[in-house]
Every structure is written in structure tokens, then in C-alpha cells.
């Protein structure tokens, strides 16, 4: 057997109520090894208490967001081979309270998401899904492929919170509604079946931490692993809120 | 197994929560159930109802998120019918499907898919604006509704976002349920009293007292080493049911998906073949025709139930033979065949199969527009589960219902899939059975042990912990809480002890299941697997849990998940040994024929922790005349939903 290559992996760890500390490990790797694989190796062979989230390992569940050398990424789809000389420092996502090691608070994000009413608000004339007799529900909306295309981009958000970790505005305005929630609000606004634009615009525009803290740096859009463009959603809302 | 652990010296303190309904699991079935229960209570005029949605992850992380292909529901205009969907499903089920269960799901499917549309599901559309359908393996007609190739992702997020507006649904995210709480009811039957679990955030044992519980905990496919399943799919609900003395049915029926990326097991959806992708061997030949799936269809013109659109098990079996015949390409992760999508062109691949294209590029390093995608089979879906009626009512070994206990989705065996599931029948099952169980749970009236006061409704965003003024527990409740404490103490007692590395046990478990409980099985291999699992179970009694933290102790959680997988896997192997025939997803090289009498396997856990198996003939439904009324209703009902051409 040839000698196994190893990578220097520093993990920023933190117990509840304590100060963060860095721990460094030499972790074997190959061309296919992901950041998540290195965390698994550490947990299995050295530090069973290392705490991090993961599930699908294919970039769709949104669980495994971490900072790698200061940049927010999904651990499962980030190969470490590119870091062979620098090594990696893995830390918890920025702008979220650390619960333990790399697991950060998700409830604050979900409260922000909920604040934009991220659900179908039908036209007042439409019966709700629960009120209509069963078979009438089959009267589905018509939606042309082009109309799906209109909100398709914003539809791809996996709630991974990488954009929150990337957003510098959150350094100063922790309550900023933030990129993913606003992008999802936009997803519903641009859906031809939805009639909730005013509700969402009002909720965002009347909250001084809703839209206005954003100064269009675009870090969210660059961080998104799914190609969503939250910066554009925020810009469009800002323009609409100013009557543009 | 837990009886062998040392008990914690003092009973753990517990937090008592009360709910009208507890839903365990926040995937497609759990969210559907919670939404349906909320709607039912609204219809009843109950504005104080509380539905506890308990999930070991945040609901939008649930494994439903990874489903790609679609959800089956008959649409008008293509000569399709409920009868055809029923027939296809029963044929796939190879004698173990129940017509009543199949008919229920088939007939409710269009309604639920349409209901989801009205919640905002972004179904892919035809040029004239109607939900489009695609072909799927084993289905005679195109009837699979889809949202590009991220159907499960969009379905889960649509349901999750809809749940955020329901005040009656109170989420308990990252709370791991440990065991079911059952007690004798007034009528001599057992009744559910709630569940006991652990709050990972606050490090507390929690008892949820409720007269209705819906298990929606998913399958057990992660037990296999090569699997499309996420890390969380560990059979938790099934192992809880076994420990509570409930039977599991047809555990040995495990679907192997024919096209997954080597090594990672990442799924490459059947939709890729439905859109016209073809499979070729190392020589570039379309090998499937040589293994009974022919005659060969022209490239780019897929034909129902032939070649690449044959039933999944036959495709996986064809791979097994091709591999043995030296027709696969060797890789470090085993032999592979190749999926060729190049003739579809960039536009179709990007529009219809964007996820597949991304996965191939990122995780296999190939661009399907210009290159072949290496694929091989991996464990994908587990048909076995907690025995329920067609409508999700959980049953005891003797067939008696457990009052108030329901199961929906992959954790349940309700008779829909039988010995093999057709692709796109399971997403729709989560919707239909999730809804039915949610509605039924909302009708359950509190039993004799019910709380003396109703829980107050809290918003979905409310953090657990704000202890409302709690009613004093009744004597009956106190007994249930005591039972919960004893159960939790066993699990907590695992922390800070043991010498057996859990990672090693998990790997050995995955290896033996991959090797001996895969596409083809035989008596010798299964006996080897049973011996290995006995050894693993013995070593698991001394499993090492080094982390002693109360909060976010993932070392402990993974040990519990490993225990659940081991418990269920022993049942799988025991049932596979007893089933000396080949049927559906269970193919025995030493018993290649199918028995004349179709029988279910029923596994229960004996006192010593060993699985006991009993085989029971499938009840033959009485021949029923086709109901014309139903037929007519369908024609009218589906008139507004058209289908896309066969392209």
C-alpha cells in the first residue's frame, strides 16, 4: 500500500456557554474526499463528541453548511483536494448562534422565513384547499411553462443558510430578514397562482430590518450553492417599496 | 437488547408535553398528516387543538427531499384509468399487494396531487398549462406528475412552508423519539398514550402525552452499505414498534435501485430513462435485451415496461447477471454499466433533468451532455414495515387495532407496494395515507388517561420551553410517565460507556447486508448474514458512546440509530431465511420459483431480542364487480388535468 496522503484539518469547536477553541487533525484524503468526509473521519477515529449536521450527502437537504477557510459551503459537496497545501479550517456558519461545535441555531432563520408568509395566498375569490369539496380540488390552476420559469430560480432555495453566513449586513443588523427568506418571498410573489404580493411587500417594507439594511454587495448570491440570486430579489423589492 | 444495558441509577427528570395528536417524523407523510389534522380540527371548530410534530431533524431536511422522479396519479386524455394503475401496482406487488389498499391510494391520488398544486407545488407543465406527466418503470401509461427531477424536494418544501402558517402545529425539531408508550385501554385492547423522546437542544427527556400518535419515521435503507438513503433513514420507528411488541411485515422486501453513482450510492432517477436515457455495457451494447427485458426499443423512444423502463428489480437483476458475465466496467467501487443521455441534448437535460446533471457533474465528474454516466445498483426503498390496515391503523400480531396508533409512509406496510414498489407510488402514498391518518387521528377522542386540561395552541414558531400552567397528571398519566422514565433511562444509560467502536459495527452491518441481502440471496449467504448480525448484536451491547453531553450528543444518537438498524436488519434476515421462494424484490438463487400461495412474513421480537418469523397467507379479496359509478366519477374528475405526449 502506498502511504496515505493527509490533510491538516482545523475545527473550531465550542461547548454551550464556553469559548470557542481550535483543534487540529491530520486526516487522510483522496481526490474524492469531501469536507464532510473529513469530519466523519475525525468523529469516528479521534473525537466522538465532534458535533455537526449532515444527512443526504448529495447537496439537497441543506443540513451541512459550514465555514471552510472563512467561506460558507456545503460540506458534502466541497472536495478538500483543492486545499492540499493550505489545509482547511472548518468553523460554524457565521451570523448564527453556536449550539455545539458546528451546529448553529436554525430557529431564528425559520422565524424570519415565516415572517414573509412563504405560502400560497390565493385570490380572495378562490376557495381554500380545505374548504372545497374533494373532487373540485381537481380544478388545478393553469400555469404555462414560461410562468413556472418566472419563479423557477427562487424555487431552488434549500434553506441551508449559507447566504446568511456570507451576508456582511448581518454583522451589524442581526435582525435583518435576510437573503433566503426574501428570495423565498419573491418565489411566491412571482408565482402566477399567488395573490400575496402586497402582504409580503408590506411586511418587508414596514420592518426597518426587512429590506433596507441590504446595500447590494451580492455576497449572498455568490455563496448560494443552488444558483439562487437573493440579491436581485432584495433589489427588486427595494425598488417596488420605493414605488419604482 | 436494551434490557442488557445497565440502567441509570436514578430515573431521569422528564418534561411533560400534552398534545391532541403526536406526529413522529416531518417528511412527506408526517407533514401531510399534520396539515390534515389541523384542517380537521378547524372543521370541527376546535381552535385549541395542538398537533405536536416531532422530528429528529428539521422537517425540510427529511429524506423525502431526495426523491427525484415524481408521484403517480391517473390523468385523463391518454387512455389511462384507475383500473390500469391498480393493475400495474398489484402486478409489481407480486401477490403481496392488497387490492383494497392499492385502490384507495390510486383513487385518492389525483385529488391529493391537485391539492398539492393548490398549496403551490411547482409541477412541471404542458405547453397548454396543465400538470405534465411522464412515463415511469412498470407503469403502462404516463401518469407520473413531476417537478423537474426534484419532485420530492419541491413536495417537501411546499408542505413545510404550508405548515408554517398552521397555528395548531407545534414543531419539536431535533427531538429524537425513543419509544412508544402503550397501555391497556378500556376495551381490553392496547391503546397509545404517547411517546417518549429526547430534546437535543436542551438535553432533556420529553414525554408527549396524547391519545393519537402517527408514526411517519421513514424506512430502513441506510442499514445497507451501498444505499441511496440519507444518514437519517435508520428504521427508528420500526424498531420502536418491535420493542412495543408489534409485528413488522415483509421486511425482506427491499428494493434495489438499478442506477446509482458508484461509491456514494447517489440516486440517478428513473426519470432519466423515462426521458429516453439508455443503459449500455462495457462494450457499448444495450445489454438489457439479453436478460429478458427486450425486445430492444429504438434509442430515444422509451416503451412502457420494456428495456430501460422495465421494473426496477428486473433491471437490477440484469445488472447482477451482466456483472457476472463480465460485461461491466470495473471500478474501485465495483463494476459499473453506463447511462447514456447524450442523445437527449443539452436543452432537454437542463430542463427535465437538472438535478441529475448536477449530481453527475459534481459527484461523478462527468457531464451527461457529452459523457456517459457510470451507474450501479444500490439499496433504495424498503417495502417492509409496521403492519397497518389500508388506512394506516396499526395492528397487533393478532390483527387487533392499537387504539389511536397510526403509521404512514415508508415505515408502514399497508398493502400498497406488496413485494415491490413501482417508482412514483411512494410519494403519492405519503400524501394520501398521511392525510387519511391525520384526519383519523383528529377524530380520536381522549381515553380514560386523557389530560385533565386541554393543551393550549401555540404558534409554530413558539420555542419549546415556555411551560404553560400544566394540569396535574392523573394517576393513569403518572403511570405512563413512569413507564417513559424507565424506557428513557435505558437509552441514557448508554452514554459514557462501552468499548465497541460504533463506526466499525455500522460498516460491518452495511457490508454483510450488501453482500448477502442484495439483489439475489441464498440460504448459505443468509445463514452467514444471520451469524454476523448475531455477533454484531452481541458486540452492540458494549457499544462505545464516549460523549456524555446532554445537548447535541450526536455520538449517542448515532449509536441509537445503529441499534435500530441492527434490530430491524435481524428481522430482515430472519424473514428472508424463512421465505423459501422468489417473489418481487426477494429473489433466492436456491429457491427460484414462486410459491402458489402468496404469504406475508410477520416478524416479532421475542424476549431474548431475537426475531421470530411467522408466514401468513395473504387474504384473498372477494371478487368485486367493477363499480361503474367510480369509473364515471374518474372521467369527470380528471377532465381538467391533461397528459403530455409520450415523448
3-state SS, residue B602 = strand
pLDDT beyond 60 at B634? no
Strand partners, B543: B500
CA distance B595 to chain A (A): 38
Interchain contact, A51 vs B546, CB within 8 Å: no
Mean pLDDT on B229-253: 98
- The residue assigned the cell 464556553 is A18
pLDDT in tens, A144-157: 999 999 999 999 99
Comparing B102-106, B383-387, B636-640, the range with the smallest average pLDDT is: B636-640
The reply to whether B273 belongs to the active site is yes
Q: How far is CA A129 from the centre of its chain?
A: 29
Q: Of B257, B435, B586, B599, which is the active-site residue?
A: B257
The domain segmentation of chain A, as residue ranges, is: 6-104, 107-241
A143 interfacial to chain B (CB closer than 8 Å): yes
* Structure confidence at residue B271 as a pLDDT band (50, 70, 90): confident
Contact between residue B443 and residue B40 where contact means Cβ atoms under 8 Å apart = yes
Determine the Cα–Cα distance for residues B454 and B470; give it in Å rounded to an integer: 9
A71 interfacial to chain B (CB closer than 8 Å): no
Residue of A48, A139, A141 lying closest to B546 (CB–CB): A48
pLDDT beyond 80 at B622? no
User: At CA B565, angle to CA B562 and CA B569, rounded to 5?
Assistant: 140
Q: What is the mean pLDDT of chain A?
A: 94
CATH ID of A107-241, from 3.40.50.11310, 1.10.1060.10, 1.10.533.10, 1.10.1740.110: 1.10.1060.10
Cell of B500: 465497541
Comparing A84-93, A131-140, B82-91, B198-207, the range with the smallest average pLDDT is: A131-140
pLDDT at B326 (0 to 100):
96
pLDDT beyond 80 at A135? no
Helices (H) then strands (E): counts for chain A = 9, 7
| B114, B236, B498, B503, best to mutate vs chain A, most A CBs in 10 Å | B114
How far from B176 is each of A103, A230, B127, B205, CA to CA, in Å? Answer: 16, 33, 45, 10
pLDDT beyond 70 at B23? yes
ipTM confidence:
0.97
Q: What percent of chain B has pLDDT over 70?
A: 90
User: At CA B334, angle to CA B328 and CA B337, rounded to 5?
Assistant: 30
| Segment holding B182, helix H or strand E | strand B175-184
pLDDT at B631 (0 to 100):
43
pLDDT beyond 60 at A162? yes
Determine the Cα–Cα distance for residues B186 and B353; give it in Å rounded to an integer: 54
Q: Which residues of A touch B43 (CB under 8 A)?
A: 130
Task: Give the chain B residue nearest A122 (alpha carbons).
Answer: B118
Q: Which residues of A touch B458 (CB under 8 A)?
A: none
Contact between residue B369 and residue B357 where contact means Cβ atoms under 8 Å apart = yes
Task: Please tell me the class of the A6-104 domain.
Answer: alpha beta
Q: Which residues of B touch A114 (CB under 8 A)?
A: 164-165, 460-461
Determine the Cα–Cα distance for residues B273 and B584; give it in Å rounded to an integer: 21
Mean pLDDT on B166-187: 95
Select from A86, A66, A237, A235 the least CA-distant residue to A165: A66
Determine the Cα–Cα distance for residues A31 and A41; give it in Å rounded to an integer: 15
Interchain contact, A120 vs B120, CB within 8 Å: yes
Determine the Cα–Cα distance for residues A17 and B490; give it in Å rounded to an integer: 28
User: At CA A54, angle to CA B61 and CA A90, rounded to 5?
Assistant: 135
Cell of B257: 435501485
Residue of B61, B546, B637 lying closest to A49 (CB–CB): B546
A203 interfacial to chain B (CB closer than 8 Å): no
Q: Which residues of B touch A106 (CB under 8 A)?
A: 58, 173
Neighbours of B200 (CB within 10 A): 25
Q: Are strands B51-55 and B169-173 parallel, antiparallel or unpaired?
A: parallel
* Structure confidence at residue A78 as a pLDDT band (50, 70, 90): very high
Contact between residue B274 and residue B144 where contact means Cβ atoms under 8 Å apart = yes
Determine the Cα–Cα distance for residues B271 and B5; give it in Å rounded to an integer: 47
Instruction: Classify residue B82 as left (phi > 0), alpha (psi -120 to 50) or beta.
Output: alpha
| Segment holding B42, helix H or strand E | helix B28-43
Q: Which residues of A touch B640 (CB under 8 A)?
A: 138-140
- The residue assigned the cell 406488496 is B418
Determine the Cα–Cα distance for residues B306 and B297; give it in Å rounded to an integer: 8
Determine the Cα–Cα distance for residues B308 and B80; give it in Å rounded to an integer: 21
How far from A10 is each of A15, A42, A144, B72, CA to CA, in Å? Answer: 16, 11, 50, 47
| A129, A134, A195, best to mutate vs chain B, most B CBs in 10 Å | A129
Contact between residue A23 and residue A9 where contact means Cβ atoms under 8 Å apart = no
A141 interfacial to chain B (CB closer than 8 Å): yes
Q: What is the mean pLDDT of chain B?
A: 90
pLDDT in tens, B485-522: 999 999 999 999 999 999 999 999 999 999 999 999 99
Peptide bond just before A186 cis, omega within 30 deg = no
A108 interfacial to chain B (CB closer than 8 Å): no
pLDDT at B137 (0 to 100):
81
How far from B617 is each of B581, B597, B599, CA to CA, in Å? Answer: 14, 7, 4
Spell out the domains of chain B, with CATH numbers in brackets.
Answer: 259-377 (3.90.700.10), 493-617 (1.20.58.100)
Mean pLDDT on B294-304: 90
Task: Give the chain A residue nearest B172 (alpha carbons).
Answer: A107
Q: Report the length, in residues, of chain A.
A: 244
Task: Give the chain A residue nearest B640 (alpha carbons).
Answer: A139
Q: Which residues of B touch A194 (CB under 8 A)?
A: 120
* Structure confidence at residue B627 as a pLDDT band (50, 70, 90): very low
Task: Give the chain B residue nearest A62 (alpha carbons).
Answer: B61
- The residue assigned the cell 460554524 is A92
Interface A-B: count of C-beta contacts within 8 A: 174
Most confident of A125-134, B66-75, B530-539, B616-625: B530-539
pLDDT in tens, B539-549: 999 999 999 99
DSSP 8-state class, residue B119: T
CA distance A193 to chain B (A): 8
Q: Which residues of A touch B463 (CB under 8 A)?
A: 107
A48 interfacial to chain B (CB closer than 8 Å): yes
CA distance B308 to chain A (A): 24
B115 Cβ neighbours under 8 A, 6+ residues apart: A129, A137, B431
| Segment holding B212, helix H or strand E | strand B212-215
B483 Cβ neighbours under 8 A, 6+ residues apart: B181, B183
* Structure confidence at residue B455 as a pLDDT band (50, 70, 90): very low
CA distance A19 to chain B (A): 16
Cell of A231: 440579491
Cell of B20: 391532541
For chain B, the farthest-separated pair of C-alpha atoms sits apart, in whole angstroms, at: 73
Q: Of B18, B273, B544, B588, which is the active-site residue?
A: B273
pLDDT at A32 (0 to 100):
87
Q: Are strands A21-28 and B204-209 parallel, antiparallel or unpaired?
A: unpaired
pLDDT beyond 80 at B10? no
pLDDT beyond 80 at B594? yes
- Interhelix angle for B554-578 vs B523-540, to 10°? 150
pLDDT beyond 50 at B458? no
B566 Cβ neighbours under 8 A, 6+ residues apart: B1, B223, B505, B509, B533, B536, B537, B540
3-state SS, residue B206 = strand
* Structure confidence at residue B645 as a pLDDT band (50, 70, 90): very low
Select from B204, B227, B311, B236 the least CA-distant residue to B26: B236
Q: What percent of chain B has pLDDT over 90?
A: 80
Amino acid at each position: 500500500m502506498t502511504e496515505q496522503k493527509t490533510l491538516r484539518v482545523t475545527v473550531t469547536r465550542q461547548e454551550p456557554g464556553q469559548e470557542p477553541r481550535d483543534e487540529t487533525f491530520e486526516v487522510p484524503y483522496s481526490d474524492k474526499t469531501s469536507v464532510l468526509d473529513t469530519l466523519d473521519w475525525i468523529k469516528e477515529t479521534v473525537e466522538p463528541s465532534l458535533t455537526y449536521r449532515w444527512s443526504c450527502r448529495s447537496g439537497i437537504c441543506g443540513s451541512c453548511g459550514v465555514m471552510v477557510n472563512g467561506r460558507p459551503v456545503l460540506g458534502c459537496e466541497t472536495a478538500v483536494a483543492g486545499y492540499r497545501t493550505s489545509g482547511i479550517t472548518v468553523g460554524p456558519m457565521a451570523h448564527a448562534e453556536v449550539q455545539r461545535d458546528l451546529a448553529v441555531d436554525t430557529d431564528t432563520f425559520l422565524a424570519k422565513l415565516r415572517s414573509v408568509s412563504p405560502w400560497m395566498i390565493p385570490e380572495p375569490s378562490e376557495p381554500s384547499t380545505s374548504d372545497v369539496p374533494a373532487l373540485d380540488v381537481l380544478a388545478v390552476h393553469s400555469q404555462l411553462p414560461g410562468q413556472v420559469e418566472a419563479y423557477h430560480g427562487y424555487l431552488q432555495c434549500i434553506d441551508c443558510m449559507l447566504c446568511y453566513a456570507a451576508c456582511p449586513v448581518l454583522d451589524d443588523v442581526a435582525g435583518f430578514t435576510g437573503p433566503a427568506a426574501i428570495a423565498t418571498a419573491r418565489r411566491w410573489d412571482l408565482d402566477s397562482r399567488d395573490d400575496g404580493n402586497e402582504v409580503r411587500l408590506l411586511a418587508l417594507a414596514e420592518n426597518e430590518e426587512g429590506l433596507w439594511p441590504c446595500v447590494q454587495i451580492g455576497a449572498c448570491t455568490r455563496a448560494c450553492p443552488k444558483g439562487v440570486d437573493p440579491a436581485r430579489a432584495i433589489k427588486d423589492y427595494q425598488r417596488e417599496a420605493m414605488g419604482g | 437488547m436494551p434490557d442488557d444495558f445497565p440502567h441509570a441509577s436514578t430515573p431521569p427528570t422528564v418534561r411533560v408535553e400534552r398534545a391532541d395528536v403526536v406526529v413522529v417524523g416531518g417528511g412527506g407523510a408526517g407533514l401531510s398528516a399534520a396539515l390534515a389534522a389541523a384542517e380537521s380540527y378547524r372543521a370541527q371548530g376546535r381552535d385549541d387543538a395542538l398537533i405536536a410534530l416531532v422530528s429528529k431533524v428539521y422537517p425540510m431536511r427529511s429524506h423525502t427531499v431526495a426523491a427525484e422522479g415524481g408521484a403517480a396519479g391517473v390523468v385523463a386524455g391518454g387512455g389511462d384509468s384507475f383500473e390500469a394503475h391498480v393493475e400495474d401496482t398489484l402486478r409489481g406487488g407480486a401477490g403481496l399487494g392488497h387490492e383494497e389498499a392499492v385502490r384507495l391510494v390510486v383513487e385518492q391520488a389525483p385529488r391529493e396531487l391537485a391539492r398539492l398544486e393548490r398549496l403551490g407545488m411547482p409541477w412541471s407543465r404542458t405547453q397548454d398549462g396543465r400538470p405534465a406527466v411522464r412515463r415511469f418503470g412498470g407503469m403502462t401509461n404516463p401518469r407520473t406528475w413531476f417537478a423537474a427531477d426534484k419532485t420530492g424536494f419541491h413536495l417537501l418544501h411546499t408542505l413545510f412552508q404550508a405548515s408554517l402558517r398552521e397555528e395548531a402545529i407545534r414543531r419539536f425539531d431535533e427531538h429524537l423519539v425513543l419509544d412508544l408508550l402503550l397501555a391497556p385501554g378500556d376495551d381490553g385492547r392496547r391503546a397509545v398514550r404517547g411517546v417518549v423522546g429526547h430534546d437535543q437542544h436542551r438535553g432533556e427527556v420529553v414525554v408527549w402525552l396524547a391519545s393519537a400518535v402517527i408514526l411517519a419515521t421513514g424506512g430502513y435503507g441506510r442499514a445497507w452499505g451501498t444505499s441511496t438513503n440519507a444518514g437519517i433513514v435508520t428504521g427508528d420507528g420500526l424498531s420502536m414498534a418491535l420493542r412495543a411488541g408489534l409485528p413488522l411485515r415483509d421486511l425482506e422486501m427491499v428494493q434495489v435501485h438499478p442506477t446509482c453513482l458508484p461509491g456514494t450510492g447517489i440516486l440517478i432517477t428513473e426519470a432519466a430513462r423515462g426521458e429516453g436515457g439508455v443503459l449500455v455495457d462495457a462494450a457499448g451494447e444495450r445489454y438489457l435485451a439479453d436478460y429478458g427485458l427486450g425486445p430492444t426499443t429504438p434509442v430515444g423512444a422509451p416503451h412502457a415496461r420494456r428495456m430501460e423502463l422495465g421494473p426496477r428489480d428486473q433491471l437490477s437483476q440484469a445488472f447482477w447477471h451482466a456483472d457476472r458475465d463480465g460485461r461491466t466496467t470495473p471500478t474501485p467501487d465495483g463494476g459499473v454499466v453506463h447511462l447514456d443521455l447524450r442523445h437527449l441534448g443539452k436543452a432537454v437535460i437542463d430542463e427535465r433533468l437538472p438535478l441529475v446533471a448536477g449530481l453527475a457533474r459534481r459527484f461523478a465528474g462527468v457531464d451527461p451532455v457529452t459523457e456517459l454516466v457510470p451507474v450501479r445498483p444500490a439499496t433504495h426503498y424498503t417495502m417492509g414495515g409496521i403492519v397497518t390496515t389500508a388506512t394506516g391503523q396499526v395492528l397487533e400480531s393478532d390483527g387487533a387495532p392499537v387504539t389511536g396508533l397510526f403509521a404512514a409512509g415508508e415505515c408502514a406496510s399497508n398493502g400498497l407496494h406488496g413485494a415491490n414498489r413501482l417508482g412514483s407510488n411512494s410519494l403519492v402514498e405519503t400524501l394520501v395515507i398521511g392525510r387519511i391518518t391525520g384526519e383519523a387521528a383528529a377524530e380520536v377522542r381522549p381515553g380514560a388517561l386523557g389530560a385533565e386540561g386541554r393543551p393550549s395552541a401555540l404558534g409554530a414558531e413558539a420555542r419549546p420551553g415556555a411551560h404553560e400552567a400544566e394540569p396535574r397528571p392523573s394517576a393513569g398519566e403518572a403511570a405512563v410517565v413512569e413507564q417513559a422514565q424507565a424506557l428513557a433511562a435505558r437509552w441514557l444509560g448508554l452514554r459514557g460507556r462501552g468499548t465497541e467502536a460504533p463506526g466499525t459495527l455500522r460498516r460491518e452491518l452495511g457490508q454483510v447486508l450488501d453482500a448477502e441481502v442484495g439483489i439475489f440471496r441464498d440460504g448459505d449467504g443468509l445463514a452467514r448474514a444471520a451469524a454476523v448480525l448475531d455477533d454484531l448484536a452481541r458486540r452492540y451491547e458494549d457499544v462505545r458512546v464516549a460523549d456524555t453531553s446532554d445537548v447535541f450528543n450526536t455520538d449517542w444518537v448515532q449509536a441509537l440509530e445503529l441499534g435500530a438498524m441492527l434490530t430491524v436488519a435481524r428481522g430482515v434476515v430472519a424473514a428472508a431465511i424463512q421465505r423459501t421462494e422468489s417473489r418481487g424484490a426477494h429473489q433466492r438463487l436456491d429457491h427460484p420459483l414462486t410459491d402458489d400461495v402468496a404469504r406475508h412474513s410477520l416478524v416479532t421480537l421475542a424476549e431474548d431480542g431475537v426475531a421470530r418469523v411467522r408466514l401468513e397467507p395473504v387474504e384473498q379479496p372477494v371478487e368485486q364487480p367493477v363499480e361503474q359509478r367510480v369509473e364515471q366519477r374518474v372521467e369527470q374528475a380528471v377532465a381538467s388535468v391533461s397528459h403530455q405526449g409520450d415523448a
